[in-house]
Chains A and B, each alone.
Chain A
């Protein structure tokens, strides 16, 4: 099993290709790998429950983390996050990507 960390920096309302990241994450998960998507920068805009963009990912078992700094910059509070999405420090991302057998993909 390989760990995949997708780092999504793009706003889904601006970049249609964020959908490709979600589809890839699910496809990799279905093949038995551990998958995390770390939302950062404008990527955290998708994390709001009102946006309702990522429910299919949590349902598929993909772990979703949202950079706490990016959330604060955009005035998004933890209670505004969709179910299953956790605020996370950048240190968590760093720790995750320096593990062996881990692939880190920035988008």
Chain B
């Protein structure tokens, strides 16, 4: 195995846990080092690339959408896919997607099953599972 590769299983939904931020940082750093990354998004993590996410204004502070400049996980995933090109594969668990109606995802996200995770893990230098608490 000459090329280094990392498979990650993510489970946390967006905007719930710092785990998502750390996972995205790890993916970004790995891609910057030329490492192939496979992501298997399971359970709530299939909502990370949901296209329907929208930044919002803050009526309490009286700030606009632009002033708030909220980051969205869909934008992070989309950017990582654009940066990684063929070095990043993102697979959403199909059953988890169907349960949540989370089908409208950013371009480049694939649908798969735990069998894909098993295959990706077997072909990778290492696998990191980030479970929910």
Instruction: Report the minimum CB–CB distance from A102 to chain B (whole Å).
Output: 6
Which residues of chain A are within 8 angstroms of B5 by Cβ–Cβ distance? 98
Q: How many residues of A contact B (CB 8 A)?
A: 22
Q: How distant is the Cα of A8 from the Cα of B117 in the complex, in angstroms?
A: 23
Instruction: Report the minimum CB–CB distance from A44 to chain B (whole Å).
Output: 11
Contact of A97 among B18, B25, B128, B131 (CB under 8 A): B128
Q: How distant is the Cα of A42 from the Cα of B25 in the complex, in angstroms?
A: 16
B130 touches A93 (CB 8 A): no
Interface residues of A in 1-36 (CB under 8 A from B): 7, 9-10
A64 in contact (CB, < 8 A): no
Give the number of A-B contacts (CB < 8 Å).
52
Which residues of chain A are within 8 angstroms of B26 by Cβ–Cβ distance? 90, 93-94
Interface residues of B in 10-45 (CB under 8 A from A): 18-19, 22, 25-26, 29-30, 32-33, 35
A94 touches B30 (CB 8 A): yes
Summarize A's interface: helix, strand, loop or mixed. mixed
A104 in contact (CB, < 8 A): yes
Contact of B33 among A91, A102, A104 (CB under 8 A): A91
A102 touches B126 (CB 8 A): yes
Residue of B nearest to A67 (CB): B22
Instruction: Report the minimum CB–CB distance from B5 to chain A (whole Å).
Output: 7
Residue of A nearest to B127 (CB): A104
B32 touches A9 (CB 8 A): no
A50 in contact (CB, < 8 A): no
Q: How distant is the Cα of A106 from the Cα of B128 in the complex, in angstroms?
A: 7
Which residues of chain A are within 8 angstroms of B4 by Cβ–Cβ distance? 98
B113 in contact (CB, < 8 A): no
B6 in contact (CB, < 8 A): yes
B6 touches A97 (CB 8 A): yes
Q: List 21 A-B contacts (CB under 8 A).
A: A41-B19, A41-B22, A90-B25, A90-B26, A90-B29, A91-B29, A91-B32, A94-B6, A94-B26, A94-B30, A95-B33, A98-B4, A98-B5, A98-B6, A98-B30, A98-B125, A100-B1, A104-B126, A104-B127, A106-B128, A106-B131
> Other than the known A90-B22, A102-B126, A104-B127, what 13 A-B pairs have Cβ atoms closer than 8 Å?
A7-B128, A9-B19, A41-B18, A41-B22, A94-B29, A94-B33, A97-B126, A97-B128, A98-B35, A98-B125, A104-B128, A106-B129, A106-B131
